[in-house]
Structure 1
Amino acid sequence: MRTLYLDCFSGISGDMTIGALLDLGGDLALLEKEIAKLAIESEYKLESYKVVKKGVSATKFDVILTEHEGGHHHRHYSDIVTMINKAELNENVTAMALSIFEKIGRAEAKIHNMAFEKVHFHEVGAVDSIVDIVGASVLIDSLDISKIVSSPVPVGNGRIRIAHGLYPVPAPATLELLKGIPIQRTEIKGELTTPTGGGILAALVNEFGPMPSFTVEAIGYGAGTKDFSDHPNVLRALLGSH
């Protein structure tokens, strides 16, 4: 049995997850091929390259929009479900991606006191978040991972500006997603765990705790966008077997 351990010492986001999975040995060409099945209206390209974060070599993953997203930026939950179901991804990838979006959709619905089916996504409806969620599902499936374990999750402090205005960190939807998940106190100012990262944890992680006893086969580091003064802003992922 192959186990993935997510060491979220600097939090987790969608791009950090993709970067870590690519660094573990995930195939960028496969990712591009599968994401193309989504028939996303906007033009985009996927980039993966090496960076060094506080002395740690890591893979940075970016979704570059080559045209403005315009009116497609806010997507309803039903639109995203239709997009994924029509994509002809394999059954496991489809199930994982839909599970992540459902977790995020239910969190948003509760925060905004609206019907789940009526939820429309702002940041998470954007092209980069759709790619991050479906892409993480594609890579987890391709790496033949059967169990995911995660460390406790630092969330950060301070304020962040999102579509609805200036919000506390963690943002309400992120905190809702992390109910039942051990979070970790930190003095770092800024958002360490994003709604996409929280959705991935809530939907896909089987258990939370310290690093399991297993034989490590590969180690990957996925870089975040921000830089912090006292630690490398990376997600560390370990792939191993029992």
Structure 2
Amino acid sequence: MRILYVDCFSGISGDMTIGALLDAGASFHALESQLALLQLEQEYELSVEKVVKNGIHSNKFNVMMKESHTHQRSHQHTESEDHDHHHHHDNHTHSHHHRTYQDIVKLIDNSELDDNVKSRSLDMFRVIGEAEGKIHGMDIAQVHFHEVGAIDSIIDIVGTAILLEDLAVDRIIAATVPVGSGHIHIDHGIYPVPAPATLEVLKGIPLASSSVKGELTTPTGAAIIKTQVNAFSTLPTMKVDKIGYGAGTKTFKDHPNVLRVIIGED
């Protein structure tokens, strides 16, 4: 049986997951060509670069927004959506739009993506949507993903689904999940770590304590763990075949902020 072990000793995010899976041999071509089926390529560019994180040579996966296209999408949204649930920093420009949870489900459902990729992606979006809805006291259908966040989330979640299918693993096992400590600044103010939505997604998942100040696990990372992992343990008995390291954005003084994935046979 082919096993993927997710060694999230420094937490997990969507970009760390994609970086690590690519480093472990998943196909960047598959990622690009499959994501193109969502027909959003005019909005973003993807890149992968090698970075060194506290001595570990890792893959850093980046999504760049194409600025010129953020002004051309107003026709896709109704006026009421435009003016609903604006975050405080959005009001200076009319070019920022939101995608609702429903928009994203429709986008994935109506695409020509493989059925397994669709169902993995929709599972991940559902747990984030449910968590955000619960925290904010709104129906999941009304949950909004801010424009840049929406593209990032779509790419990270659908991209992870694509690469997991590409790697054709039978079982996914993860380490316990550290979430970090301290506080973070988000749209609504200063929040404890883990952020409420992240913690909500991670209900039922074994967490690991961490003295690291900062957010180690993002809502997307939490959704990947919650919906894609079959079991939690220390490194299982396995014959290791491939190893991949995916770099996070932050750098910490005392440990490398990378996600390690290990693929092998048991």
Check whether TM > 0.5.
yes
Q: Is the 8 A contact 1:123 1:163 kept in 2?
A: no
| TM-score, normalization by structure 2 | 0.87
Match of 1:114 among 130, 135, 138: 138
Alignment RMSD, CA only?
A: 1.6
Q: Which amino acid aligns with 1:12?
A: I
Q: Unaligned stretches of 5+ in structure 1?
A: none
Q: Deviation at 1:40?
A: 2.1
Matched, 1:240 2:264: yes
Matched, 1:3 2:3: yes
% identical aligned pairs: 56
Q: What's the secondary structure of 2:212's corresponding residue?
A: coil
CA distance in 2, matches of 1:224, 1:135: 16
| Other-structure match for 1:190 | 214
| Other-structure match for 2:226 | 202
* Structure 1 ranges of 4+ moved more than 4 A: 70-73
Q: Deviations over 1:189-226 (max 9, x none)?
A: 11000000001111111111111111111000000011
Distance change in 2, residues 1:126/1:73 (3 Å): farther
Q: Is the 8 A contact 2:65 2:148 kept in 1?
A: no
| Structure 2 counterparts to residues 133-172 of structure 1, below 5 A | 133-172=157-196
Q: Which amino acid aligns with 2:3?
A: T
| Structure 2 counterparts to residues 1-242 of structure 1, below 5 A | 1-40=1-40, 43-67=43-67, 69=70, 71=95, 73-122=97-146, 125-242=149-266
Q: Is the 8 A contact 1:16 1:222 kept in 2?
A: yes
Q: Which amino acid aligns with 2:8?
A: C
Q: Is the 8 A contact 1:177 1:199 kept in 2?
A: yes
CA distance in 1, matches of 2:148, 2:260: 23
Q: Is the 8 A contact 1:124 1:195 kept in 2?
A: no
Q: Is the 8 A contact 1:73 1:125 kept in 2?
A: no
CA distance in 2, matches of 1:136, 1:67: 24
Q: Deviation at 1:72?
A: 5.6
Q: Unaligned stretches of 5+ in structure 2?
A: 72-94
Q: Is the 8 A contact 2:49 2:59 kept in 1?
A: yes
**Number of aligned residue pairs:** 242
Distance change in 2, residues 1:192/1:73 (3 Å): farther
Q: Deviation at 1:175?
A: 0.3
Q: What's the secondary structure of 1:37's corresponding residue?
A: helix
Q: Deviation at 1:164?
A: 2.1
Q: What's the secondary structure of 1:75's corresponding residue?
A: strand
Quick check: which has more Rg, 1 or 2? 2
Q: Deviations over 1:81-138 (max 9, x none)?
A: 0111122100110110000000111111111111122222238852112100000000
| TM-score, normalization by structure 1 | 0.95
CA distance in 2, matches of 1:124, 1:218: 33
Q: Is the 8 A contact 2:45 2:65 kept in 1?
A: yes
Distance change in 2, residues 1:12/1:100 (3 Å): same
Q: Is the 8 A contact 2:6 2:174 kept in 1?
A: yes
Q: What's the secondary structure of 2:22's corresponding residue?
A: helix
Q: Deviations over 1:6-45 (max 9, x none)?
A: 0010000000000000000011111111111112275211
CA distance in 1, matches of 2:148, 2:235: 29
CA distance in 1, matches of 2:113, 2:159: 11
Q: What's the secondary structure of 1:9's corresponding residue?
A: coil
CA distance in 1, matches of 2:97, 2:160: 21
